[in-house]
Structure 1
Amino acid sequence: MPTIARTPLLHGALVALGLAAASVAQAQSTQLTVTITNLAPANGLAFAPLRVGFGDGSFDAFNLGQVAGAPIVSVAEGGSGAAWFPAFAAADPGALTGTVGGLLLPGASAQAQFTVNTSSQGMFTFAAMVVPSNDFFIGNDDPMAYRLFNANGQLMMPSITVKAREIWDAGSEVFDPAAAAFVGNNDLRSDQNSVVAFNFAELSAFSGLATGAGYTFNSSLAADSDVYRIDFALAPVPEPSTYALLLAGLGLVAARRLRAQG
């Protein structure tokens, strides 16, 4: 039986075959860019870092009319994901979580990239504190509200726009401008022990106060004012048919080399 020498070309073809096969197995993963934009008017609302999760819809962070739990309170009262991230992971161990941006001032944008499995991590959940406020936030009540991908891994939802009337009040902290984040001393906050509700109109009470960013706050919001947008864009992996052609071509090269050396 003849000994087959692995020439550099043959070795490279075999390695490429293995890499292509591995890529086929991961064809459901894609690089997703998430861009956030503060749409509030100048001198208006700012937002804490956006906490995001991509999962199967198991994590339900809060519910309208119910007492806010620790996960969403950590976001609403201080902009932190300290309780939100662990709760997400406990409810959905296969989820991918992360953060987009820092403090987002009026008119500003930020973005981050995530490698998402379009099959198992297709439901999108988000939360961010609204400032100035004591415990206002944006986020989705229904964990199944935002399905990003279809069965073929194609992006179905290019963006999410949040209106002023969709700003939540966690009901966990008493409304008090002197104790509100961004315009007061948030260490002075006190418990309210109420329930999650919509309450954007309360923001007008902060108008005229100096913010931590140096401008004088002016709410100037109507119920239908757009305040925040989340945009999605992806760079899909090559189609399975592309891999099939690559595998066939590499296989033909390897076979020819084997015959030539046989």
Structure 2
Amino acid sequence: MLPILTTPVRWLSALSLSALSLAAQAAPVQVSVTIENLARADSIGFAPLHVGFGNGTFDAFNEGQAPTAPIISVAEGGSGSAWQPAFEAAEPLATRGVIGGPLLSGQTRTQTFLVDPAVNRYFTFAAMVIPSNDFFIGNDSPLEHRLFNAAGDLQINAITVKARDIWNAGSEAFSVAGAAFLVNGSNPVRSDEGGVVRFNFSELAGFNGQTTAAGYVFNSNLAGSDDIYRISFQTSAVPEPQSLALTAMGLLTMLGLQRRRGKSVTKA
């Protein structure tokens, strides 16, 4: 009788260990991302923030090079209509999303994402600066912000963007008529610039005195060292699925019963 009982005991033991191993290895985390507009009152705002947690492959732009369609879709209007699909194509397993806007001076937004830190350790972001024709914030290198170490621990609590970190996409020429977020501007009105991506915040002063869509009179009032934007991160564990826990417990119970039966047969 013992050979007959040995197979199910081994099977149940292996299945139980597999279930417990799965519970231990499945370690996604909830990442709460909070964004803050730190710019001075009546200064710049920001369109929705496009974010991605990935493996560091997707690269939307490079300093000194012509702007790509993905970054233009962020810098000119803020929609990210090409940025999001390009990210998905480059990294199908990435976690992506958008944190709503516009974000005016002093405002904050928070959104939570489910992230697998073993696969998606890097954080990438991009948002249009408003008012502007094609200004934005974002990370040039996709490997710049490694959020998690090999153990899945959070390594970065916050990313602070300064005025000198504002990018000019180089895709649209400066004009009030074509600027987003101005009463006297219309985003669809544009003239090609044919330039390259570069740092540039001083040109925003060209909108001083213009009334914004939010009703305030714009005054850039920016110095290069000014903090203008902050992205903060907090993580929390994802509750273990009850079904998985119950399955593991059930298998262990069955294993115990089979072992007791095996002992009874041996004695008989």
TM range (shorter): 0.7 to 0.9
Deviation (angstroms), 1:20: 5.3
Other-structure match for 1:194? 195
**Quick one: distance in 1 between partners of 2:170 and 2:127?**
15
Other-structure match for 2:151? 152
1:59-208 equivalences under 5 Å are 59-183=58-182, 184-208=185-209
Cα displacement string for residues 100-156 of structure 1 (whole angstroms, at most 9, x for unaligned residues): 122111110001111101011111100000000000000000110000001111100
Cα displacement string for residues 16-61 of structure 1 (whole angstroms, at most 9, x for unaligned residues): 998755432312x111111100001111111000001111111111
**Quick one: distance in 1 between partners of 2:252 and 2:143?**
46
Work out the percentage of aligned pairs sharing the same amino acid.
55
Other-structure match for 2:226? 225
Q: Which amino acid counterpart does residue 34 of structure 2 have in structure 1? A: T
Which ranges of structure 1 fall in alignment gaps of 5 or more residues?
2-15
**Quick one: distance in 1 between partners of 2:67 and 2:83?**
12
3-state SS, counterpart of residue 177 of structure 1: coil
Contact 1:17 1:251 in 2 (8 A): no
**Quick one: distance in 2 between partners of 1:167 and 1:112?**
23
**Quick one: distance in 2 between partners of 1:159 and 1:94?**
24
**Does residue 47 in structure 1 map to residue 52 in structure 2?**
no
**Quick one: distance in 2 between partners of 1:188 and 1:254?**
71
Contact 1:53 1:96 in 2 (8 A): yes
Deviation (angstroms), 1:94: 1.7
**Quick one: distance in 1 between partners of 2:255 and 2:89?**
50
**Quick one: distance in 2 between partners of 1:233 and 1:35?**
9
**Quick one: distance in 2 between partners of 1:236 and 1:35?**
18
Q: Which amino acid counterpart does residue 31 of structure 1 have in structure 2? A: Q
| Number of equivalent positions | 243
**Quick one: distance in 2 between partners of 1:250 and 1:41?**
59
Aligned pair in 2 of structure 1 residues 202, 24: CA closer, same or farther (>3 Å)? same
Other-structure match for 1:9? none
Other-structure match for 1:12? none
Deviation (angstroms), 1:252: 6.8
3-state SS, counterpart of residue 123 of structure 2: strand
Contact 1:35 1:112 in 2 (8 A): yes
Q: Which amino acid counterpart does residue 191 of structure 1 have in structure 2? A: D
**Quick one: distance in 2 between partners of 1:256 and 1:56?**
43
Cα displacement string for residues 159-179 of structure 1 (whole angstroms, at most 9, x for unaligned residues): 000000000000000000121
**Quick one: distance in 2 between partners of 1:199 and 1:118?**
34
**Quick one: distance in 2 between partners of 1:101 and 1:189?**
25
Cα displacement string for residues 237-256 of structure 1 (whole angstroms, at most 9, x for unaligned residues): 589xxx99xx6x87776666
Contact 1:162 1:227 in 2 (8 A): yes
Which ranges of structure 2 fall in alignment gaps of 5 or more residues?
2-15
Q: Which amino acid counterpart does residue 62 of structure 1 have in structure 2? A: F
**Quick one: distance in 2 between partners of 1:42 and 1:253?**
64
- Rg larger in 1 or in 2? 2
